[in-house]
Amino acid sequence: MKYQLIVFDWDGTLLDSAGAIVQAIQSACIDLSLPVPEDSQARHVIGLGLVDAMRHAVPDLPPERYQAMVDRYRYHYLAGDHKLTLFDGVPQMLERLHAAGHILAIATGKSRLGLDRALDHSGLRPLFQASRCADECHSKPHPQMLEELMAEFCMAEASTVMIGDTSHDLLMASNAGVDALAVTYGAHPHNHLVEHKPAACLHSIQELDQWLLNFA
């Protein structure tokens, strides 16, 4: 077993939520009479902690309005998050990896409250042994989330892999000294992901599952 510890991003990697995040960012801007970012600009911040994400999505946003922006974003996102679904094949892939003895973990830009809500709604909580969220650690691409997960399970960098759909995930992996797998069906386009030299770029959950079966 090459990768004993497999760390997944959540939004855009396991959950089909990128479109909903973009809409929530744009709706929050409309509520606050702020410039509305283009889809590509809003998608780029997916994976960052909420305050970092809002600061990058709306560069002219004054610091004193960060919390109002976060509050409106949460209002719009939570209004529809119960309708979001996992990508096809996610439960089966995670169950296979868990049964094979891999330690599964999550490193996400969500808050702890947001991830707990998502895990309970998805039914995937029993398959994950640990997680780190953006309100507990430095936001991606800082390596703290991965460093803490490796320390928790006494795992070396060579035994750990990070899987995500954004350049923030891949940079975090690089900063932590671990391999990364990019998935191209989420927030960031293939050409942005490949720049960061992941071990592989996979275009579906089925491709990801097969790669892990062959190489993990």
Distance CA(46)–CA(52), nearest Å, equals 10
| Mean local confidence (pLDDT), 51-58 | 88
Q: Do 129 and 63 share a domain, yes or no?
A: no
Q: Do 191 and 205 share a domain, yes or no?
A: yes
Which of 66, 82, 98 is the C-terminal boundary of a domain? 82
Q: Do 180 and 90 share a domain, yes or no?
A: yes
pLDDT over 90 at 82, yes or no: no
Three state DSSP letters for the chain: CCCCEEEECCECCCECCHHHHHHHHHHHHHHCCCCCCCHHHHHHCCCCCHHHHHHHHCCCCCHHHHHHHHHHHHHHHHHHHHHCCECCCHHHHHHHHHHCCCEEEEECCCCHHHHHHHHHHHCCHHHCCEEECCCCCCCCCCCHHHHHHHHHCCCCHHHEEEEECCHHHHHHHHHHCCEEEEECCCCCCHHHHHCCCCCEEECCHHHHHHHHHHHC
Distance CA(105)–CA(52), nearest Å, equals 23
Q: Do 157 and 204 share a domain, yes or no?
A: yes
Q: Do 68 and 39 share a domain, yes or no?
A: yes
pLDDT over 90 at 31, yes or no: yes
Q: How many CB atoms lie within 10 A of CB 123?
A: 10
Which of 41, 67, 82 is the C-terminal boundary of a domain? 82
Which of 82, 103, 118 is the C-terminal boundary of a domain? 82
Could you tell me the maximum CA-CA distance found in the chain, to the nearest angstrom?
53
Q: How many CB atoms lie within 10 A of CB 203?
A: 12
pLDDT digits 0-9 by tens, 160-208: 999 999 999 999 999 999 999 999 999 999 999 999 999 999 999 999 9
Q: How confident is the model at residue 61 (pLDDT cuts 50, 70, 90)?
A: confident
Q: At residue 33, what are phi and psi to the nearest 5 degrees? A: 55, 45
Q: What is the pLDDT of residue 46?
A: 92
Q: Do 119 and 47 share a domain, yes or no?
A: no
Q: Is 11 a catalytic residue?
A: yes
How many domains are there within the chain? Answer: 2
Q: Do 191 and 203 share a domain, yes or no?
A: yes
Q: Do 78 and 164 share a domain, yes or no?
A: no
| Mean local confidence (pLDDT), 63-70 | 92
Distance CA(55)–CA(62), nearest Å, equals 9
Q: Do 189 and 113 share a domain, yes or no?
A: yes
Q: What is the pLDDT of residue 86?
A: 97
C-alpha to C-alpha distances, 117 to 14, 24, 123, 213, nearest whole angstrom: 15, 17, 10, 29
Q: How many CB atoms lie within 10 A of CB 40?
A: 11
Say what percent of the chain tops pLDDT 90: 90
Look up the pTM and report it: 0.94
pLDDT over 90 at 55, yes or no: no
107 contacts 172 by C-beta, under 8 angstroms:
yes
Q: At residue 132, what are phi and psi to the nearest 5 degrees? A: -135, 140
Range of the domain at 69: 18-82
Question: What CATH number is given to the structural domain containing 174?
Answer: 3.40.50.1000
Q: Do 47 and 96 share a domain, yes or no?
A: no
Q: Do 135 and 46 share a domain, yes or no?
A: no
Q: Which amino acid would we find at residue 66?
A: Y
By mean pLDDT, which of 56-65, 150-159, 162-171, 188-197 is the weakest? Answer: 56-65
pLDDT over 90 at 50, yes or no: no
